[in-house]
């Protein structure tokens, strides 16, 4: 197994494209267990159309897993909702993330609509993690995602 060079998810060593973020893979991908300074993972909380409670439970599990695996950036896909006002999963995930940030359990939260290289918080994140300049959602005003910088 190898890690996608863009999203950090586990992929087949011989894959030319990541099945998660669809990014083209170079031959120098890091294998599982190798030491990397930057690691990123994408989690789709919408998958399987869960209830809000199940999505929040999965979010907690993924945050614990990211801490254990020393993931630096976690990209959450929570969706925007079909009403055009923002869905319940999105709203509740963002409430939980704000709370965890206030407790000091998460370093930084950047909402997809703020993940733009002209925003101060994104500029700071890009200066620390240059690899994020290739993130597929950068500058797309995507209200259905949230990026989390872990400690």
Q: What is the pTM of this model?
A: 0.75
Based on the structure, what is the number of domains in the chain? 2
CATH code, domain with 67 = 3.30.1370.110
**Per-residue pLDDT at 6:** 64
Q: What is the DSSP letter of 24?
A: B
C-alpha distances (whole Å) from 86 to each of 11, 52, 120, 122 are 31, 13, 24, 22
Residues 19 and 86 in one domain: no
- Asked if 125 and 68 count as a contact pair (C-beta separation under 8 A), the reply is no
In tens digits, the chain (151 residues) has pLDDT values of: 677 666 666 777 777 777 876 777 765 444 444 444 689 999 999 999 999 999 999 999 999 999 999 999 999 999 998 776 678 999 999 999 999 999 999 999 999 999 999 999 999 999 999 999 999 999 999 999 999 999 9
Same-domain pairing of 63 and 122:
yes
Domain of 25?
1-35
φ and ψ at 106, to 5 degrees?
-125, 140
Measure the CA–CA gap between 44 and 140, rounded to whole angstroms: 18
Distance in Å from the first CA to the final CA of the chain? 25
């Amino acid at each position: 197994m190898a890690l996608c060079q863009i999203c950090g998810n586990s992929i087949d060593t011989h894959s030319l494209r990541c099945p998660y973020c669809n990014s083209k893979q170079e031959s120098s991908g890091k294998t599982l267990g190798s030491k990397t300074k930057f690691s990123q993972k994408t989690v789709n909380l919408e998958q399987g159309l869960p209830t809000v409670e199940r999505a929040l439970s999965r979010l907690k599990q993924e945050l614990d897993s990211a801490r254990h695996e020393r993931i630096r950036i976690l990209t959450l896909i929570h969706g925007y909702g079909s009403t055009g006002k923002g869905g319940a999963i999105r709203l509740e995930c963002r409430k939980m993330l704000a709370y965890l940030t206030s407790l000091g359990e998460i370093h930084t939260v950047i909402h997809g609509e703020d993940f733009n290289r002209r925003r101060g918080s994104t500029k700071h994140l890009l200066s620390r993690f240059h690899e994020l300049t290739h993130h597929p959602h950068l500058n797309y005003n995507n209200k259905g995602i949230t990026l989390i910088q872990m400690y």
